[in-house]
Chain A
Amino acid sequence: GQNIDQPTEMTATEGAIVQINCTYQTSGFNGLFWYQQHAGEAPTFLSYNVLDGLEEKGRFSSFLSRSKGYSYLLLKELQMKDSASYLCAVRDNYGQNFVFGPGTRLSVLP
């Protein structure tokens, strides 16, 4: 079956670093990606990983281990505007289906 797990909620302090984990079990693998979604708004693309390792993009980095079915999103120098839901999603390589996790709601406190 298809399953993606993420923590439901996380809280961190402005200026800190937070790591949001994602584990997945899917029918094949054709890439993992992260989206940010502010309440009431559309998701915004953050990162894409298809090979093992770390992809860095400014304050955001994403890591993938295909053998472990594991990824994390690392947010550095947290800002209040980073308070949002973070969605982990995997595309399988059979039906080319996108499977989304439930999202992690991050609250950044002053």
Chain B
Amino acid sequence: DSGVTQTPKHLITATGQRVTLRCSPRSGDLSVYWYQQSLDQGLQFLIQYYNGEERAKGNILERFSAQQFPDLHSELNLSSLELGDSALYFCASSLGTSGRALHEQYFGPGTRLTVT
């Protein structure tokens, strides 16, 4: 158990819908990261927040957005869903923003999203 929690574990929804994925980082960790993992594209970095502010952006679509709240939990919002958005979405957390504190990321168990 990494100490990072994600809800829900599974989500099935229809095309065009909007969903929200939730992540609670490990106690004391200030950085939260979101990743998407699909069979054909591997693990893709989406976005990073540090202490409530956006710190880095990866291959995140405009239909997707995220935020980190004052209690440090984070939400990833996916809208106008398409079949291709079906994937495993991981959240990870780390203590800091540089050096080993940044890169020693702890991953949550993931949310499996299926768009039908």
For B105, list chain A residues within 8 Å (CB).
Answer: 45
For A101, list chain B residues within 8 Å (CB).
Answer: 42
For B42, list chain A residues within 8 Å (CB).
Answer: 87, 100-103
A106 located at the interface, meaning its Cβ lies under 8 Å from any Cβ of chain B in the complex: no
Q: Is the CB of A99 within 8 A of B57?
A: no
Q: Which residue of A lies closest to B100 (CB)?
A: A48
Given known A96-B55, A97-B56, contact A45–B104 (CB-CB < 8 A): yes
Q: Is the CB of A97 within 8 A of B45?
A: yes
By size class, the interface of chain A is 20 to 34
Interface residue count for B (Cβ, 8 Å)? 24
For B90, list chain A residues within 8 Å (CB).
Answer: 42-43
B43 located at the interface, meaning its Cβ lies under 8 Å from any Cβ of chain A in the complex: yes
Among A42, A97, A99, point to the contact of B2 (Cβ < 8 A).
A42
For B106, list chain A residues within 8 Å (CB).
Answer: 45
Instruction: Report the bound CA distance from A96 to B45 in whole Å.
Output: 10
For A91, list chain B residues within 8 Å (CB).
Answer: 103
Q: Which of B78-97 contact A (CB under 8 A)?
A: 90, 92
For B25, list chain A residues within 8 Å (CB).
Answer: none
Among B57, B100, B108, B110, point to the contact of A97 (Cβ < 8 A).
B57
B48 located at the interface, meaning its Cβ lies under 8 Å from any Cβ of chain A in the complex: yes
Among A33, A42, A48, A95, point to the contact of B107 (Cβ < 8 A).
A42
Given known A42-B108, A42-B109, A95-B57, contact A87–B43 (CB-CB < 8 A): yes
Q: A42-B2, A98-B33, A98-B45 are in contact. List 13 more A-B contacts (CB 8 A).
A: A31-B103, A42-B90, A42-B107, A43-B107, A48-B100, A87-B42, A95-B58, A97-B45, A97-B56, A97-B57, A98-B58, A100-B43, A101-B42
* Cross-chain pairs A/B with CB under 8 angstroms, 7 sampled: A41-B109, A42-B108, A45-B105, A87-B42, A97-B57, A100-B42, A101-B42
The 8 closest A-B pairs by CB, nearest first: A96-B56, A42-B107, A98-B45, A48-B103, A100-B43, A97-B58, A33-B103, A102-B42
- B residues near A (Cβ < 8 Å) are 2, 33, 42-45, 48, 55-58, 90, 92, 99-100, 102-110
